[in-house]
């Protein structure tokens, strides 16, 4: 079931989400996902690469391939339900390789290449009311600049991700919903008509954290 985050630390850096534009018809059907067995890319720092599982998930849309690798065990707080509430902000979740240019949820271009994925929380500063019930994101950062697998905290995570698009805003992928019980690798649309694929990452609790990662759709903001 979906888990809502009830309190988050405010930040001066906003992940701006304002008004929704629905995805083009047929995109959901074009999105497919399957396992792959490729090793983590050499473009990653050795310490980052050593923290990742061999093989991962490949999501494709037309000619674009999005290859994921996940950490061997995402640190979560012991006891209770396994969800993002127990994950430190800035925790390394995995890495991704884009085979071609990709447009993020705000329409900004992310060039082909290899990026780390770290967990981030949308600031509770009032700028995003009425957009989504969730504040959970994975931020993409250039592999060459993110070299330490330890959690980086909110500010450092956002600063690293800004280099992805060369702007004052990080490059976000929304976890929406952040916890889900739909089948692994299935494709669906959330309440805002953004298309997601269902993925999961192993945790230190010995359980898998399954989530919906938005990969198709655009908002204005």
- Helix intervals (H) in the chain: 27-30, 46-50, 153-165
Q: Which H/E stretch holds residue 217? A: none
**pLDDT band at 134, cuts 50/70/90?**
confident
The residue ranges of every structural domain in the chain are: 19-220
**pLDDT band at 65, cuts 50/70/90?**
very high
pTM, 2 dp: 0.85
Tens-place pLDDT, residues 91-106: 999 999 999 999 887 7
Distance, CA of 207 to CA of 183 (rounded, Å): 16
């Amino acid at each position: 079931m979906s888990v809502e985050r009830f309190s988050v630390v405010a930040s001066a850096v906003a992940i701006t989400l304002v008004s929704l534009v629905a995805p083009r018809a047929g995109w959901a059907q074009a999105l497919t996902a399957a396992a792959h067995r490729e090793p983590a890319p050499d473009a990653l720092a050795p310490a980052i690469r050593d923290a990742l599982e061999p093989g991962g998930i490949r999501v494709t849309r037309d000619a674009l391939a999005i290859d994921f690798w996940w950490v061997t065990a995402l640190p979560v707080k012991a006891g209770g339900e396994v969800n993002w509430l127990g994950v430190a902000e800035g925790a390394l979740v995995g890495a991704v390789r884009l085979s071609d240019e990709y447009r993020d949820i705000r329409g900004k271009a992310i060039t082909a290449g290899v990026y780390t994925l770290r967990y981030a929380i949308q600031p509770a500063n009032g700028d995003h009311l009425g957009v989504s019930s969730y504040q959970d994101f994975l931020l993409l950062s250039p592999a060459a600049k993110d070299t330490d697998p330890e959690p980086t905290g909110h500010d450092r995570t956002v600063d690293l991700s800004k280099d992805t698009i060369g702007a004052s805003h990080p490059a976000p992928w929304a976890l929406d919903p952040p916890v889900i019980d739909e089948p692994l690798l299935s494709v669906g649309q959330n309440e805002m008509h953004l298309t997601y694929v269902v993925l999961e990452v192993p945790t230190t609790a010995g359980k898998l954290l399954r989530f919906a990662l938005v990969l198709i759709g655009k908002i204005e903001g």
